[in-house]
Amino acid sequence: MKRIHLALAAVVGSVVVASCGSSSGTSTAHSSTPPTAASTTTTTTSTTPGTTTTTAAGGTSPYDEVRTGTVKGLGTVLVDGQGMTLYLFVPDKQSGASVCYGTCAQAWPPLLLPTGATATVAGPGVQSSLLGTTRRTDGTTQIMYNKWPLYLWVNDSQPGQATGQGINNLGGLWYVVSPDGLAITTHP
């Protein structure tokens, strides 16, 4: 009986180790460090006449892509390549420079250009002329839209959420961004 328990424990242990070692699921957690440029190679495909969509070779949009999505009660807003809502921070004052560092950047991770990338990715619904970048004090490059540095909110766990909309947090107000590059100040 003791041998059966040991054998069973060994099988359960190896299943746990194997499941910890690899994952085939999709995670919604967002890191402030985007994937490297090598993992975000893009291709352009036509989905309907006169429309193009930029996607990664695997069929999903790159992390650093800026495109539009819909949030209930707020309408069309800017989202990242995974569909997560993007925000602006009012204290940035549309200056083209971020003032969100330390604890602020942990709660509101900046949307960063991948290491080695030289340009932002404009997705559907975005005006490429409004896209830009700014250099952060740690040397990373943050993506901007209409001179507003863009951020994610750690409490948004899936596309279509905007739980950070209109909150006063870590030194200022946070708002979702319209396709025109303006703050949407309404509450859903």
The residue among 23, 116, 123, 134 whose CA lies nearest residue 82 is 123
% the chain with pLDDT above 70: 68
What does the alpha-carbon distance between residue 36 and residue 174 come to, in Å, rounded to a whole number?
28
> Residue ranges of the domains in the chain?
63-188
DSSP run (H or E) holding 14: helix 2-21
82 conformational bin, left if phi > 0, alpha if psi -120 to 50, beta if neither: alpha
Q: Are 127 and 60 in contact (CB under 8 A)?
A: no
Burial class (CB in 10 A: 0-12, 13-18, 19+), 81: buried
DSSP run (H or E) holding 68: strand 65-71
Compute the average pLDDT of residues 98-120. 95
Radius of gyration from C-alpha coordinates of the chain = 20
* Residues in CB range of 125: below 8 A, 6 or more apart: 67, 68, 76, 179
Global pTM exceeds 0.75: no
What's the pLDDT at 22? 33
What's the pLDDT at 62? 79
Look at residue 63 and tell me whether its pLDDT is greater than 60: yes
Q: Which residue has the higher pLDDT, 172 or 39?
A: 172
What's the pLDDT at 58? 41
What does the alpha-carbon distance between residue 177 and residue 88 come to, in Å, rounded to a whole number?
7
